[in-house]
Amino acid sequence: MSSAEGTSASAILSASRISKSFGEIPVLFSIDFDIKPGEVHAIIGENGAGKSTLIKILSGFEQPTSGSISYDGKVVTLPPNGGAEAMGIVLIHQELNLAEHLTVADSIFLGRELKKFGFLDVAEMRRRAAEVMQTLHVNVDPDARINTLSVADKQMVEIAKAISRDARVLVMDEPTAVLSVGETQTLFEQIRRLTARGVAVIFISHKLDEIMELARRVTVLRDGQLIATVGTEALTPDSIAQMMVGRELSNLYPPKHEPDVDAPLVLSVHNLVAKGVKDVSFDLRKGEILGFAGLIGSGRTAVAEAIVGLSHRDSGAIEVEGQPANFTQVAQSVDAGLAYMTKDRKGKGLLLNMGLRPNLTLLTLKKHLKGGFLDPSSEEKALERAVRRFDIRARDATVAVGRLSGGNQQKLMLGKTMETEPDIIIMDEPTRGIDVGTKQQIYHIIAALAAEGKSIIVISSEMQEVIGLSHRVVVMREGRLAGVLEGAEITEGEIMRYAAGIKQSGHNDRISA
Amino acid sequence: MTASAPETAGKPARGFRIDLKTAGPLLALALLVLLGITLNENFFTYNNLTNVLARSSFIGIIAIGATFVITAGGLDLSVGSMAAVIAGVMIMVMNWLIPSLGIGWSVVLAGMLAGILLGGVAGVFNGMMITRGRIEAFIVTLGTMGIFRSLVTFLANGGTLSLNFQVADVYRPVYYDGLLGVPYPIIVFAVVAIAGEIVMRRTTFGRHCAAIGSNEQVARYSSINVDNVRLLTYILQGVLVGVAVLLYVPRLGSASSTTGVLWELEAIAGVIIGGTMLKGGHGRVWGTVVGVVILGLIGNILNLQSLISPYLNGAFQGVIIILAVLLQRGRRNG
Ligand SMILES: Nc1ncnc2c1ncn2[C@@H]1O[C@H](COP(=O)(O)OP(=O)(O)OP(=O)(O)O)[C@@H](O)[C@H]1O
Ligand SMILES: [Mg+2]
């Protein structure tokens, strides 16, 4: 397939025969890429295909091993470490890159602070920060510290920061991975506003419908090779997915096997009250997949963290396998067979500066003790098993986990959680940043676990995922349980109505409005 | 499955990967030894080397504790003053017990026990303030550093606390004698080092220290009891200060307000030269041993030659510390 558009004469930024190796390891092979003013050009590909590496090269954060980059028709060497921002090329990294102790306003103006008489013009920066956040419909105080924000809000701050620069080329690496549907739509509005002004946008996402909606052209990468650059009008999500993984993708979601009606309850939560959680009650049966839907910030993570003992519980009762459970330490919940997988893999899930092995076994070191001492060979075996089971692709097991592609980090974290051999698993955004091929794998793993008699709670902001996987769906809104959907009621419209507060629960007796 | 087969199969592959990061401190040590040999024929003698090692063993034992504290993302500035207080109290306890226990080993053992106990208690105090009081380690231990220092001055009434001569005679061999010609301090240092290395690499405690220093949140979400592990590192540090002091007291038989001055900085320097990261997350006990020995050798070599003034000892040590950190950073970017 060839380029859908004409020549690259009008391209603002283009790459010609770019190759990149990290040490001995090649990750990109002779890639051609270009972007024109006013265009949204999407890059897709499996985890580890080289998308992030390509756009880091396009914005100067990495230098190509060979090949050239042209900006405004002239061959250039982009300055490293974000120096290209001054030239109008702004990158939003896949992993959030904010200084945790700065305020929102500080972060947005970091490196180009406004000054008056040589001193920082704090008031003006705060005002403008508030203005940008306003256009993004984000409700955060410009004086709030970054470390107090949710992941989604942090992402919005990153976006605000990028948008507020006079970018000519805006590069976004999976900006929507942590955003809800509503937030994504706001972001898209802003992107359209920018492209209308002639800004070129490079956009990476694993969500194919977003790509279809937003992009004019799509470049598909597979294992560091350029597969094709095509116009989206000629494509369907299925055909893109096929190009990405190189095989046909049928049955993204495995068939649902409802648990028996008389299956025992393995987890009961009664009137749980905690920070961000107001009087939540629900049950989980053996072999059930229970979806948790809701807008970001609706308290789903807070419920999970209060259950496993990560955060303080104000009141309410929890029963695991019929026994009262008062977990005040995560270790207790793990011992009781209840595991929680965080959605914040960089901040709470993985030790980025360590290798795969210590990360995998961190939760379960006890299993690898021999005579009171750790047995590296036993850990090594566990790693081999996990790599096979979850298809973790690292070219070298000693590489720091921070260097794995985002999707492979996610799979490693799943492996780490499953090492505890839990009976009940709470997965918070289990497929964040994962490509469709791997998503399918993970969905089948989840279904297989349920069929084995494990019980699973899937917290997800991807509506399709919740619908495709869950036997029942709990919808949360503002810290409360807004409704529980079963069988044919599980539809996008129904979930949205509860999540947005248009509809309150009718049939769940324990819910107060 | 046999116990040893998979281990021996896995080990050589890892052991043979020599790079600057692991070999750096060893290389520096080898260079120093070579330099010493060329500068003075007395350097590479049994007497001189055991002397250097025996002196280094106090700092070394303390630095091994510091390796754990720093790996877990903490810091303990109080160890020098702590050593002084422990030495003072040990001497007072022994002197005080002579009437009831008489001159002999029972007094000395009681003094040793008191020293280790006091170290543990001081560690508990530091650790509790840091983990339960939620005060920064730097601030807490800066505070206790001052407290301990002034306590020893107070106990000694501004002067020197001296151990009863007869008890000192009983106690002397602990520093000056040894097994098969190896002084006891060196033996204890070696034992603590080997145990420390094993604990760091092959126990959950060691792994948890590295995890906490690397990212406290991840550690918490991985069901590690962060506060307890942290507290333990400070207790371990305190106990090891106690061990170091019970080897040190028989050397001079006295303690004063100048005992252990700047030991905390020497210990931290040894840890850093050995390749442990000051911000935590990665610790190497054997590296610390090499680091401390390097610092000891610099002083020794300067004393054995006449070209450069030995007063520049501190300057050389400083240069080595900065070089060590520079080298480590260089390879991380590469
Ligand atoms: N600094 C680095 N050193 C070594 N290898 C690296 C480095 N950065 C990336 N890689 C490797 O390059 C490959 C491509 O990674 P990249 O992050 O570009 O993938 P990606 O397409 O963005 O994947 P994802 O969808 O999971 O984010 C991976 O195998 C990754 O491990
Ligand atoms: Mg990526």
> How far does CA B47 lie from the centroid of its chain?
23
Strand, helix or coil for residue A112? coil
Residue B16 pLDDT > 60? no
What residues have CB less than 8 Å from A301, skipping those under 6 apart? A343, A428, A459
CA distance A419 to chain B (A): 12
Quick one: which of A262, A281, A282, A285 has its CA closest to A273? A281
Give the number of the ligand closest to the Cα of residue A410: 1
Say which of A354, A366, A380 has its CB closest to residue B10. A380
pLDDT of residue A99: 76
Residues of chain B positioned with their CB less than 8 A from the CB of A370: 3
CA distance A155 to chain B (A): 19
Average pLDDT of chain B to the nearest whole number = 89
CB-CB contact of A349 with B218 (8 Å)? yes
Task: Tell me whether residues B223 and A350 touch, CB distance under 8 A.
Answer: no
In B, minimum Cα distance to A346 occurs at B218
Q: One digit per residue, pLDDT tens: chain A, 513 residues?
A: 444 444 444 889 999 999 998 877 788 999 999 999 999 999 998 888 899 999 999 999 999 999 999 999 889 998 888 788 888 898 888 777 777 788 888 888 887 777 778 777 888 888 888 888 888 787 888 888 888 887 778 888 888 888 888 889 999 998 888 777 778 888 888 889 889 888 999 999 888 888 888 999 999 998 888 988 988 888 887 788 788 877 766 677 888 888 887 889 999 999 999 998 999 999 999 999 999 998 877 899 999 999 999 999 999 999 999 899 989 989 999 999 999 999 988 889 999 999 999 999 999 999 999 998 999 999 999 999 999 988 888 878 888 999 888 888 989 999 999 999 999 999 999 988 788 888 888 898 899 999 999 999 999 988 889 999 999 999 998 899 999 999 888 988 888 888 877 777 654 444 433
Q: Alpha carbon of B252 to those of B160, B245, B249: distances in Å? A: 11, 11, 6
**What distance in angstroms lies between residue A368's CA and the mean position of ligand 1's atoms?**
30
Quick one: which of B240, B91, B84, B251 has its CA closest to B183? B251
CA distance B210 to chain A (A): 9
Residues of chain A positioned with their CB less than 8 A from the CB of B219: 362
Above pLDDT 90, what percent of chain B? 71
Q: Looking at chain B, how many residues does it have?
A: 334
pLDDT of residue A248: 67
- C-beta of A47 in contact with ligand 1 (< 6 A): yes
CA distance A311 to chain B (A): 11
Nearest CA to ligand 1 atom 9: A403
Task: Tell me whether residues A365 and B207 touch, CB distance under 8 A.
Answer: yes
Residue B236 pLDDT > 80? yes
CB-CB contact of B216 with B279 (8 Å)? no
Give yes or no on whether A8-245 and A251-337+422-513 have one common fold.
Answer: yes
This prediction has a pTM of: 0.81
Neighbours of A487 (CB within 10 A): 9
ipTM value greater than 0.85: no
Residues of chain B positioned with their CB less than 8 A from the CB of A396: none
Report CA torsion sign: A361, A367, A372, A375: negative
CB-CB contact of A413 with A341 (8 Å)? yes
CA distance B297 to chain A (A): 33
pLDDT of residue B10: 33
Confidence at B329, pLDDT banded by 50, 70, 90: low
Cα separation, B182 vs B178, in Å, equals: 5
**What distance in angstroms lies between residue A47's CA and the mean position of ligand 1's atoms?**
8
Task: Tell me whether residues B218 and A347 touch, CB distance under 8 A.
Answer: yes
Can you list the domains of chain B with their CATH numbers? 44-333 (1.10.3470)
**Domain extents in chain A:** 8-245, 251-337+422-513, 351-421
| For chain B, counts of helices (H) and of strands (E) | 15, 4
pLDDT of residue A375: 93
Q: Alpha carbon of A361 to those of A410, A454, B210: distances in Å? A: 15, 21, 13
In this structure, what are the phi and psi dihedrals at residue A317, rounded to the nearest 5 degrees?
-125, 145
Residues of chain A positioned with their CB less than 8 A from the CB of B203: 372-374
Single-letter amino acid, residue A356: L
- C-beta of A175 in contact with ligand 1 (< 6 A): no
| DSSP result, A283-330 | EEETT-EEEEEE-TTSSHHHHHHHHHTSS-EEEEEEEETTEE---SSH
Neighbours of A19 (CB within 10 A): 16
Cα separation, A453 vs A488, in Å, equals: 23
Residue B201 contacts A, CB cutoff 8 Å: yes
Q: Alpha carbon of A401 to those of A100, A178, A393, B59, B303: distances in Å? A: 21, 20, 11, 35, 47
Task: Tell me whether residues B214 and A363 touch, CB distance under 8 A.
Answer: no
List, as ranges, residues 387-416 from A with C-beta within 8 Å of B.
416
Task: Tell me whether residues A349 and B221 touch, CB distance under 8 A.
Answer: yes
Cα separation, A37 vs A197, in Å, equals: 9
Task: Tell me whether residues A362 and B282 touch, CB distance under 8 A.
Answer: no
The C-alpha angle B98, B100, B104, rounded to 5 degrees, equals 50
**What distance in angstroms lies between residue A49's CA and the mean position of ligand 2's atoms?**
8
The 10s digit of each residue's pLDDT in B95-137 is 999 999 988 899 999 999 999 999 999 999 999 999 999 999 9
Task: Tell me whether residues B203 and A349 touch, CB distance under 8 A.
Answer: no
Cα separation, A339 vs A426, in Å, equals: 6
Cα separation, A70 vs A35, in Å, equals: 11
- C-beta of A205 in contact with ligand 1 (< 6 A): no
**What distance in angstroms lies between residue A247's CA and the mean position of ligand 1's atoms?**
22
Atom of ligand 1 nearest to the CA of A206: 25
Q: Alpha carbon of A258 to those of A263, A458, A466, A508: distances in Å? A: 10, 16, 15, 20
CB-CB contact of A49 with A74 (8 Å)? no
First-last CA distance in chain B: 40
> How far does CA A255 lie from the centroid of its chain?
25
Q: Which residues lie near ion ligand 2 (Cβ < 5 Å)?
A: A 52, 94, 406
pLDDT of residue B21: 66
- The CATH number of A8-245 is 3.40.50.300
Task: Tell me whether residues B10 and A375 touch, CB distance under 8 A.
Answer: no
Nearest CA to ligand 1 atom 19: A48
What residues have CB less than 8 Å from A73, skipping those under 6 apart? A11
Class of domain A251-337+422-513: alpha beta
Nearest CA to ligand 1 atom 4: A22
User: Mean pLDDT across the stretch B26-33?
Assistant: 89
Residues of chain B positioned with their CB less than 8 A from the CB of A366: 204
Say which of A310, A340, A374 has its CB closest to residue B207. A374
